[in-house]
Amino acid sequence: MASRWSSALFALVLLSPRLSAADSYNSDSYSDPGSQHEEPVEPAEPGGKDDGLESQGLAPPSGDLDSDENDSAMSRELERADRADSGRGLEYFWLSGDIGVALFDIAAGARGEVLPGLSESGAGFAYGGGMGARLLYFSLGGRFRTINLPDYDVWTLGLELGVRFPLGALEPYGRLSAGYLGLLRGQTAGIPLSVSGFSGRLAGGADYYFSDSFSLGLELAFDCAAISRAAVEGSLPSNAPEALERDVASAALGGELMLNVGFHL
């Protein structure tokens, strides 16, 4: 009996190293595969799509910043426009009355032929008026003007286009007009004379606005015209100049210094 237990104990001692090696092998072979690898490193979250610009020393554009800058630029532009503006509201219609003095020569190109026996040039009183519409810096209208000279009267009627330059209450302007010229009260030896033609006027001046609807101004104008006089038909008095029997064409020249009274709507 004792020899059996001795044999069994001896066999167990011999098998112990082999069992330990097998257990160790099995533990290594069947361990969790994940334990044999390093945990993956999560990549750092990028700061944004503009990190590349920042890394190179460039600041990314900001939508809010651009909006603020645009608003600021617009505000400065409005302030500048407000300072440059005349301070008045928009004007749509105007009405003007004119009075002044004029120099006029109706026979600058044919002395003694247009109005023979009369003083063909001289100084006189001028008056007239105009009305029209305005859009911002531009005006369009019509104007009538009469010049009273010692021996005859000249009248003009034309359309005009003007440009104006608001400088606060003071408003310089320039105008160009074209129209028709006629003669009144012109007689030689009791014979009425008919003189007419096409005229043009170049004018410049300045108006001062005392209010949105009322202004006073000074204007200097230069007139030129191409006129003609038809020959007088029929028998002439013995004292009538021979020039009346001929058709005559001439140039007429004139200048006016006018005071303008303006009403604006």
Q: Give pLDDT tens digits along the chain (265 positions).
A: 545 555 555 555 455 555 555 454 454 544 455 445 555 555 555 555 455 555 555 555 555 555 666 767 766 665 555 455 556 667 899 999 999 999 999 988 888 888 888 888 899 999 999 999 999 999 999 999 999 998 899 999 999 999 999 998 999 999 999 999 998 888 777 788 889 999 999 999 999 999 989 999 999 999 999 999 888 887 778 778 888 888 889 999 999 999 999 999 9
The set of residues, in sequence order, having a beta carbon less than 8 Å from that of 195 and lying 6+ positions away, is 106, 114, 115, 182, 183, 186, 227, 228, 229
State pTM to two decimals: 0.64
Question: Of the candidates 42, 166, 144, 34, which has an alpha carbon nearest to the alpha carbon of residue 96?
Answer: 144
Q: Is residue 28 part of a domain?
A: no
pLDDT value for 112: 82
Q: How far is the CA of 9 from the CAs of 21, 23, 129, 236, 261, in angstroms?
A: 19, 21, 145, 177, 142
Q: What is the pLDDT of residue 171?
A: 95
Q: Check residue 247 and give its pLDDT.
A: 87
Is 155 within a domain?
A: yes
Strand ranges (E), the chain: 93-105, 121-135, 138-148, 153-164, 170-184, 187-188, 191-192, 195-209, 214-229, 248-264
* Residue 19 within a domain: no
68 found inside a domain = no
Query: In CATH, what number is assigned to the domain containing residue 193?
Result: 2.40.160.20
Structural tokens at position 180? 């028709």
Query: For position 216, what pLDDT does the model report?
Result: 97
**162 lies in which domain range?**
93-264
What total of structural domains would you count in the chain?
A: 1
Which pLDDT belongs to residue 90?
79
What are the angstrom distances between the C-alpha of 10 and each of 1, 21, 22, 60, 158? Answer: 14, 19, 20, 83, 144
| Of 178, 130, 122, the residue nearest 148 (C-alpha) | 122
SS3 148: strand
Closest listed residue to residue 250, CA positions, set 225, 230, 222? 225
Beta bridge partners of 195: 229
